[in-house]
Amino acid sequence: MVQVQARMSSIAGQAGQQAWHARPLPLAPVAAQGRLSDLLSIMGANIDDRRLCDAYLIPLRRVRAGVVLLHEGTRAESVYVVRFGTFKTLRVAEDGYEQVLGFSGQADVIGFDALCSGSHPSSAVALEDAGVYALPIRELDGLRQRVPALDRALQSALSAQLAGAAGIAEVMAAVASEARLARFLLQRSMRMAALGQSTRRLRLPMSRRDIASHLGVAHETVSRSFGELVNWGFVAVDNREVEILDTDGLRGIARNTRGCPDERGSEAPQRRARTRRTARPCASSVAA
């Protein structure tokens, strides 16, 4: 299950990706179609016109692990809504550094940031086999007008995406690398909660390098930080399976953006112990 994306290459090595496209596919890049009502239910919208939504069909596109859904700089044709699977969105800097902006899962909208300019400012790569609804931009206005439910759902999803964009700032704002990783894990956990899944057991579909890019640290540091969190007993890690053992402890680590305790000390001993590492930090919930 996990190994299926072992040969996922970076966006830079797209020669291999295009080979994927060049394979003798069934000739039809968009074969399947899905019902609009299914799309709406995935997005959590109320359906106002059941008959129309059942009848209306939306192009459905399957994306295999490692395949590029959108390529930075290309013309924008469609906006996508994730049906299943996970994507990473990224931008490649001038120096070739791959900056991972975020990870998109079920019900997330991909590619909307291209509407204003007409070409995609960021790429999207499937981290595992995935399926997306494709909303052609040419039909988007008409569709939104005819189906108010879709309009509202899109608005809401975009609003959520805008609110979620602060997430990358949140993880990168922390000074300590363990805090960044802790915040990232807590974000993933909360996302799982929003989807009604287990908040303790996380499956990370992305590589350590992707996490590192998203956190703004070197990928070796991600490994070390995972090690520290394990040493402190906050999580258990098995490759890309992560189990959160002590949510409050993790939150304690994630709390401190930077050293200054904001001059209102005398409240809680919530400072990370300067214990030259590998010693358990303060531990807000452990003393209890």
Give the x/- contact pattern for DNA in 1-40, rule: CB under 7 A.
--x--xxxxx------------------------------
- According to DSSP, residue 196 is labeled T
155 touches its own copies by CB under 8 A: yes
208 touches DNA by CB under 7 A: yes
Indicate the helix (H) or strand (E) that contains 186.
helix 177-194
264 touches DNA by CB under 7 A: no
Going by C-beta distance under 8 Å and a sequence separation of 6 or more, which residues neighbour residue 202? 185, 188, 189, 192, 241, 242, 243, 244
Give the x/- contact pattern for DNA in 211-250, rule: CB under 7 A.
-----xxxxxxxxx-xx---------x-xx----------
Query: What are φ and ψ of residue 122, in 5° steps?
Result: -145, 160
Residue 219 interacts with, from its own copies, DNA, none (CB under 5-8 Å by kind): DNA
Could you tell me the CA-to-CA distances from 275 to 18, 175, 239, 247, 282 in Å, in that order? 50, 16, 27, 21, 10
Query: Within 13 A of 195's CA, how many CA atoms are on the CB side?
Result: 18
Give the x/- contact pattern for DNA in 139-178, rule: CB under 7 A.
------------------------------------xxxx
Minimum CB separation from DNA for residue 210, in Å? 8
**Pick from 153, 116, 156: nearest CA to 137:** 116
Q: For residues 17 and 64, is the Cβ–Cβ distance under 8 A?
A: no
273 touches its own copies by CB under 8 A: no
Among 143, 172, 282, 286, binds its own copies (CB under 8 A): 172
Contact residues: DNA, CB under 7 A: 3, 6-10, 175-178, 207-209, 216-224, 226-227, 237, 239-240, 258-260, 274, 276-277
